[in-house]
Amino acid sequence: MTPAARLQAALELIEEVEADARPADAVVSAWFRSRRDLNDRDHGELSDLLYAVLRGHARLNWHLAKQRREPTARNRLLAWLALGEGKTRDQIQRLFTGGRFAPAALTDGEGVLLARLQGGTLEHPEMPDGVLGECPDWALGPMQSRFGEAFTREMAAMLRPPPLDLRVNPLKGTRESVLEALRRIGFEAQACRMAPHGIRLPRRLSLARLPMLKTGAVEIQDEGSQLVALLVGARPGERVVDFCAGAGGKTLAMACDMANKGAVIACDISEARLKRAAGRFRGAGLHNIQTRVLTSERDKWVKRHKGGFDRVLVDAPCSGTGTWRRNPDARWRAQDAGLEALAALQREILDSAARLVKPGGRLVYATCSLLAEENEAQVEAFLAAHPEFRLVPLGEAAPQITGSAHPDYLSLTPARHGTDGFFAAAMTRDAPVTA
């Protein structure tokens, strides 16, 4: 693919991501599947360019507004080439020729824009904090309250491309054997610092280059997500529920911790998600997982099985603020009213799922959010309304997990821990279920 063709393809991809309601990674995957003419190098270069533009969304729009230009996909791409890659107007003009496979030729107005941006940088001293940190208005106050003086550092950490974290399936190998295999095929792999089965690769790559993914020897899972599953503490022979299983990553990790013994019930309101997850379960060689489609958080199945499980994980739907470094488009999809609605849904889900926990059993509430409104506030409200539960401090629940930003909860941030942002709290039921 020529440099000009790469830019035209990138422009088409940016436009498609902006027009589609699905997350960017889903749109990108579908787009690449439709372009069989592209090789691994093309995939990598296009993905890098797309995500660079997405990560610069607010800053690029700020520069365009300053130059009184519309924030179109094409203008953002032009601004990125000038400010992010340092290209001159003449260099860009030689790529935007209007020829076959190349972007349309520059207009006079676009030439003026590039002349004005030439020699500039993406960051500008006049930018507000929210623009510099690529933080949307609806999250700016809560994020500043959450991090205080560390706000700028945490926002900057979420503007860097994330590494690729893997979780080794202990039923199919050891971390040492997988590390050795990865290094043999040329990857700079290293053991994750906190997760006992975690492996980190410094950057994302074509998954086709990882043969151990096809055999189920490893799964892609951020180190923070692995630690949430570890906090559940699932043991062989127990009965466990993953109440919001989604793609099944934490379900897989817990089932592995149980050595394929006992039962894990993966629940979700999406039958399609559970079907996809079931394929992952089979590929990993796990036979102790069942799936259960729920009509809602108040599905009758919950009442029929109240008090029947040793461990219940509630990985609640949330704002996803902790995943912004790998899902940069997600920050611009949420709306102000969405946070209140999410908080109400989280309360309902946690209240309902708690009925499944037997006396002496463990309930873990988790999100991939960095906002106190979705995390500490939810746990405190739940415990106040449910005196039959008590908080289990992190050091007691999972003494092997150290370095959390909070002494009682699992609290991970990109800048401090090098993971996605995660929160999790472990609670135990001291009294029988009455409702």
pLDDT for position 337: 56
Mean pLDDT of 412-428: 97
- Cβ burial, residue 116 (10 Å; 0-12/13-18/19+): middle
pLDDT at 435 over 70: no
pLDDT for position 336: 52
Q: In this structure, what DSSP letter does residue 332 have?
A: G
Asked if 334 and 340 count as a contact pair (C-beta separation under 8 A), the reply is no
Decide: helix, strand or coil at residue 164.
Answer: strand
Listed in order, the ranges of the chain carrying CATH 1.10.940 are 3-127
Least confident window among 33-37, 98-102, 208-212, 225-229: 208-212
Max Cα separation, the chain? 74
Q: What is the CA radius of gyration of the chain?
A: 23
At 70-104, the pLDDT tens digits run: 999 999 999 999 999 999 999 999 999 999 899 99
Residue whose C-alpha is closest to residue 361's, from 274, 426, 314, 275:
426
pLDDT at 188 over 70: yes
pLDDT for position 84: 97
Could you tell me the fold of the domain covering 223-429? Answer: Rossmann fold (3.40.50)
As given in the structure block, the two tokens for residue 114 are: 């590039």
- 108: pLDDT confidence band, cut at 50, 70 and 90? very high
Listed in order, the ranges of the chain carrying CATH 3.40.50.150 are 223-429
pLDDT for position 15: 94
Could you tell me the fold of the domain covering 3-127? Answer: N-utilizing Substance Protein B Homolog; Chain A (1.10.940)
Asked if 190 and 418 count as a contact pair (C-beta separation under 8 A), the reply is no
Pick the CATH number of 164-220 from 3.30.70.1170, 3.40.50.2020, 2.60.40.420, 3.40.50.1000: 3.30.70.1170
Count of beta carbons in the 10 Å neighbourhood of residue 171: 14
pLDDT at 171 over 60: yes
Listed in order, the ranges of the chain carrying CATH 3.30.70.1170 are 164-220
pLDDT at 41 over 80: yes
Alpha-carbon distance of 404 to 413, in angstroms, equals 9
Alpha-carbon distance of 328 to 51, in angstroms, equals 7
Residues marked as catalytic: 368
Mean pLDDT of 56-66: 98
How much is the pTM?
A: 0.94
Q: Which residues contact 20 (CB under 8 A, 6 or more apart)?
A: 27
